[in-house]
């Protein structure tokens, strides 16, 4: 597992970019996510400290460029790129949504899969499951499970640096994120290491308070919507305040306001759109 430096990336103060996974051995290297394009050279140098073997496979947990930006560079080094079909569609829509800095066709996943059974890869004595997750952080999320190592890279539908970020512009949904948290708790054993795209590594018991926090904020926002409150009024009520001291980066800038504001706005708009579609 490779992480970026702290303090270098305004969007991710804890560690620049998204976390990268490397499964190395005589069968070649399998990678999870590829960081920002600008640091591909540094990433390759870090991987070469682990193994000289060819980089054969790469999978993306989701479309954001702190996870996919380097894809084209690794594909040109010979990696076969796997991702959800939805992620490929999200990439084709970009850069209208600001997610990609390149139109290089090499960035597009070659092997795609939808919802359903995991794709399994067997190499280096490990069984790797590419597990599709219904619309959660984005519309094309996957969890990557290493069965023998008992570790799961869960991407960004859980994060403990800043409040949850559900990218509804790229197909993410609040309900899907809650389902993904439930699925993770079922999939994980008591000792399974859960490796988020950002923040600290956790175990399944850490998901419970996180999920409860989301449900509590959701209930508070729902009540205010029922009282006819506007989004501005909901934001002004600071409904996350009981949690702010416990969420590192929770009040750091994110989007138009703080990470807390971005989260509460997302909850508000998700509840409003589900009310309209009912
Ligand atoms: Zn993300």
Average pLDDT over residues 257-266: 96
CB-based burial, 62-98: b 16+ in 10 Å, e otherwise = bbbbbbbbbbbbbbeeebebbbbebbbebbeebeeee
Give the tens place of pLDDT for each residue, 107-140.
999 999 999 999 999 999 999 999 999 999 999 9
**H or E element, residue 122:** strand 119-123
Count CB neighbours of 61 within 10 A.
31
- What is the 215 CA–ligand 1 centroid distance (Å)? 21
Q: Is the pLDDT of residue 102 over 80?
A: no
- Beta partners for residue 57, in sequence order: 30, 80
CA 137 to centroid of ligand 1, rounded, Å:
7
Task: Provide DSSP, 179-200.
Answer: HHHHHHHHH--TTPEEEESSS-
User: Phi/psi of residue 125, each to 5°?
Assistant: 75, 10
Expressed in angstroms and rounded, the spacing between residue 176 Cα and the centre of ligand 1 is 15
DSSP string, 238-259: TTTTTTGGGSTTTTSEETTEEH
Percent above pLDDT 90 for the chain: 85
Per-residue pLDDT at 81: 98
Q: What is the mean predicted confidence (pLDDT) over 244-248? A: 94
For residue range 23-34, what is the model confidence (pLDDT) as tens digits? 999 999 999 999
Contact assessment for residue 141 and residue 61, using Cβ atoms and an 8 Å cutoff = yes
Average pLDDT over residues 156-160: 95
Query: What residues contact 187, with CB distance under 8 A and at least 6 apart?
Result: 131, 143, 145, 152
Verdict on whether the full-model pTM lies above 0.85:
yes
Q: How far is the CA of 87 from the centre of ligand 1 (A)?
A: 12
What's the pLDDT score for residue 96?
A: 47
Q: Distance from the CA of 254 to the center of ligand 1, in angstroms?
A: 13
- What the block records as the tokens of 184 is 């993770």
pLDDT at 98: 55
Ligand 1 geometric centre to CA of 141 (Å): 9
CA angle 87, 37, 53 (to 5 degrees): 90
pLDDT of residue 197: 96
- Residues with CB under 5 Å of ion ligand 1 are 64, 156
When pLDDT is cut at 50, 70 and 90, the band that residue 255 belongs to is confident
Percent of the chain at pLDDT > 70 equals 96
Q: How many angstroms is it from 88 CA to the middle of ligand 1?
A: 15
Kindly tell me the burial class for residue 101, based on how many C-beta atoms sit within 10 Å of its own C-beta (0-12, 13-18, 19 or more).
Answer: middle
């Amino acid at each position: 597992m490779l992480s970026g430096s702290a303090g270098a990336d305004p969007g991710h103060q804890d560690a620049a970019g998204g976390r990268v996974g490397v499964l190395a051995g005589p069968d070649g290297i399998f990678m999870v996510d590829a960081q920002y394009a600008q640091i591909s050279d540094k990433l390759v140098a870090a991987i070469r400290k682990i193994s000289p073997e060819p980089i054969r496979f790469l999978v993306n947990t989701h479309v954001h460029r702190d996870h996919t930006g380097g894809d084209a560079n690794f594909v040109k080094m010979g990696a076969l790129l796997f991702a959800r079909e939805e992620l490929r569609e999200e990439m084709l829509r970009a850069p209208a949504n600001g997610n990609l800095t390149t139109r290089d066709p090499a960035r597009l996943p070659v092997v795609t899969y939808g919802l359903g059974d995991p794709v399994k890869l067997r190499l280096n004595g490990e069984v790797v499951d590419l597990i599709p997750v219904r619309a959660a952080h984005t519309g094309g999320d996957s969890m990557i499970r290493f069965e023998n190592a008992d570790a799961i890279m869960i991407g960004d539908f859980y994060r403990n640096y800043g409040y949850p970020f559900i990218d509804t512009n790229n197909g993410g949904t609040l309900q899907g994120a809650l389902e993904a948290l439930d699925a993770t708790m079922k999939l994980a054993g008591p000792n399974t290491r859960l490796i988020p795209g950002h923040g600290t590594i956790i175990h399944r018991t850490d998901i419970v308070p996180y999920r409860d926090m989301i449900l509590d904020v959701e209930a508070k926002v729902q009540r205010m919507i029922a009282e006819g409150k506007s989004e501005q009024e909901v934001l002004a009520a600071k409904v996350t305040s009981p949690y702010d001291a416990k969420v590192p980066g929770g009040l750091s800038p994110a989007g138009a306001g703080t990470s807390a504001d971005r989260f509460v706005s997302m909850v508000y708009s998700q509840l409003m759109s589900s009310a309209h579609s009912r």
